[in-house]
Amino acid sequence: MKLVVPVRLLSIVFLVLLTAFGHTQAQCLSFARNIAKPLLEPYIHDGNYNATYMEEGESAELYKTFFKGENYRLVVSGVDELPQIHIRLLDDQRNVMFDNLNHNLVNVWNFTAENTGTMIVHIKIPDAGENKKIIGGCIAILFGVEAEGKRR
């Protein structure tokens, strides 16, 4: 019978974690939909969902094929609590093609592909300062494609 208490405790912890997981994911969808996606305009969101919870000091990469003749808009957006995100676009040899450090850490940028190739979006949330509490939150990496009527 001694096991009953830990089991109850674990059950509660499990339920809390399950709820928290669903809640975090729901928050990320809401963030991607309401905050990040509007930044794609007037480009049309391609429909791919890349959003998750990240903390200061963490980095992520997204692999995407850019197609010849297409115009893309990249949006990397994090919740307000997070610091500005460092974004780099790398080619398949990991050469840096774009670095937002050179552009005031801007989080929206357009790309035109003159040939088809796989590109890598590398993002890094700057480290928290020493002895500071690490902050986390949702980030979304979204791509827009230029719509038919808007093409140059």
Tell me which H or E stretch contains 4.
helix 4-31
Q: CB–CB of 86/121 below 8 Å?
A: no
Is residue 5 within the footprint of another protein (CB under 8 A)? no
State the pairing for strand pair 71-78/136-145. antiparallel
Q: State which of residues 81, 101, 116, 134 lies at the interface with another protein (CB under 8 A).
A: 116
Is residue 45 within the footprint of another protein (CB under 8 A)? yes
Site string for another protein, 70-99 (x = CB under 8 A): x-----------------xx-xxxxxxxx-
Q: State which of residues 35, 79, 105, 122 lies at the interface with another protein (CB under 8 A).
A: 122
Is residue 128 within the footprint of another protein (CB under 8 A)? no
Q: CB–CB of 100/140 below 8 Å?
A: no
Least gap, CB of 81 to another protein (angstroms): 18
CA atoms within 13 A on the CB side of 124: 10
Least gap, CB of 80 to another protein (angstroms): 21
User: What tokens does 2 get?
Assistant: 């001694």
Distance CA(109)–CA(99), nearest Å, equals: 10
**Binding positions for another protein, 19-38, rule CB under 8 A:** 21-22, 24-26, 28-29, 32-33
